[in-house]
Amino acid sequence: MSHTETQTKAPSALLALTELPRALVELGALPWAAPLLATAPRGDGHPVLVLPGFVTSDRSTTILRGFLNGQGYDAHAWELGRNLGPKAIGHQGEKLIARILEVHEATGKKVSLVGWSLGGVMARLVAKRIPHAVRQVITLGSPFSGSPKASNVWRAYEMFTGQKVDDAHTKSQLSEVSAPPPVPSTAIYSRADGVVAWQNCCEEVGPTSDNIEVYGSHCGLGINASVLYAVADRLAQAEDDWHPFERTGLRALVYPSAGHA
């Protein structure tokens, strides 16, 4: 899916300004969602590396990793500090690649990658570099296609990372990540995202790729009950028998789209 800067705009000021209160509501709703989360598929013990979003650290993914460990997965922090783009993962993603290979070699299993926002863009990038070590990729509100300026934080990205969104290196990597990786991939997104344009967070639907729409904020994606359930469902897919997310029955009330934007 491709969206030009003229076609896709950054989220409205209303959505942006209400991001924090909406995320707090999602956090507060977690205890009430416990019955739903209790029905999520159990894990098979394979390793999952969780990548934080822009300028955040492993602290932001504590709840998500705790949930995945509780579901029977071997969830790992990325241990690369704050996500400051190439400053954190290396110019070609070499530091993140080394971290994934470390987990892969220690466990003897392929590693599933769950990336929040910028973390998901990075997950798609490295999955193309080392597909032999990656089981699948799940992105949460990750703008891996379209114009990087269809966002309310692109100027902050340039300031904190020292990387211009229009330079040749950035454009090359964005072009690389826009197409589905050579492993199963799922893009989870919200049309109410107040940080990045939701259209740029959607996957090309194919035999091993899918989109899951949820209701929620960008900053709350990692603590949103419907997201946690969907991530657990995707991770539970057999390594050699991946299939799209099922939306029949009561799930249709929680997950509004049928695999496309």
pLDDT digits (tens, 9 = 90+) for 72-97: 999 999 999 999 999 999 999 999 99
The confidence band for 258, taking pLDDT boundaries of 50, 70 and 90, is: low
Can you tell me the distance from the alpha carbon of 193 to that of 217, in angstroms, rounded to the nearest whole number? 5
pLDDT in tens, 226-250: 999 999 999 999 998 999 999 888 8
Counting residues of the chain whose pLDDT is more than 70, the rounded percentage is: 96
- Residue 14 CA to its chain's centroid (Å): 23
**pTM score of the predicted model:** 0.94
Q: Could you count the other beta carbons within 10 Å of the beta carbon of residue 250?
A: 9
| Residues above pLDDT 90, as percent of the chain | 89
What confidence score (pLDDT) does residue 61 get? 98
Mean pLDDT of the chain: 93
3-state secondary structure of 209: strand
Per-residue pLDDT reduced to its tens digit, 112-131: 999 999 999 999 999 999 99
What tens digit of pLDDT does each residue of 15-56 get? 999 999 999 999 999 999 999 899 999 999 999 999 999 999
Backbone angles phi, psi at 166, to 5 degrees: -100, 5
The Cα–Cα gap between 190 and 196 comes to 10
